[in-house]
Amino acid sequence: MINEKIQGAFNEQLNAELYSAYLYLSMSAYFESAGLRGFANWMRCQAQEEVVHAMKFYTFIHERGGKVNLKSIDGPPVSWDSALAAFQDAYAHEQKISELMNGLVDLALERKDHMANAFLQWFVNEQVEEEASADEIIQRIKLAGEGGGMFMLDRELATRVFIPPAQQAV
């Protein structure tokens, strides 16, 4: 049976992951309207990945005999000053999610819930990748400047494909 405090915190994280999906979908729409379909594709894939993250929490809560409590999701921003600003926001958001994950690990350790801690380690490792990925694109946008480099980067980001977890190599 899941600890009540952990159940509450995991429900909060489930909702935070759904907000992340909503945020990245909004960023995708922004890029679509700006004619940067590759950037839009990258963000759409990111949104799909965040839904998977939310569902991992959903499943874990139920598997531990808990109750999922979905809450309202705030509307995300709908426009940014530039591609760089959008990715800087994405990076800052991932840093916030990393802080939330650290807090969840601390709670799991405090409650001596080793199953929750083991579950969270996948997310801890995932956050390293999430932050690095957003930061890498920020650096590449800065290098590309306002010229043709942005179109090359847009073409590259268009190649990202979302692979559902069941199809990922273990």
Which of 65, 63, 50, 69 lies closest to 10, judged by CA? 69
Over range 15-37, report the average pLDDT: 98
Residue 166 lies in a domain: no
pLDDT of residue 167: 57
| CATH number of residue 60's parent domain | 1.20.1260.10
Quick one: the chain helix, strand, coil %, rounded to 5? 75, 0, 25
pLDDT of residue 146: 75
Residue 169 lies in a domain: no
The total number of structural domains that make up the chain: 1
Range of the domain at 58: 4-159
Q: Which amino acid is at 10?
A: F
pLDDT of residue 28: 98
pLDDT digits (tens, 9 = 90+) for 119-128: 999 999 999 9
pLDDT digits (tens, 9 = 90+) for 46-79: 999 999 999 999 999 999 999 999 999 999 999 9
Over range 110-115, report the average pLDDT: 97
Residue 91 lies in a domain: yes
The Cα 128–Cα 94 span in angstroms is 9
Residue 32 lies in a domain: yes
Full-model pTM? 0.94
Residue 168 — very low, low, confident or very high, per pLDDT cuts 50/70/90? low
Residue 164 lies in a domain: no
Average pLDDT score over the chain = 95
Residue 42 lies in a domain: yes
Q: What is the largest CA-CA distance in the chain?
A: 56
pLDDT of residue 170: 45
Residue 167 lies in a domain: no
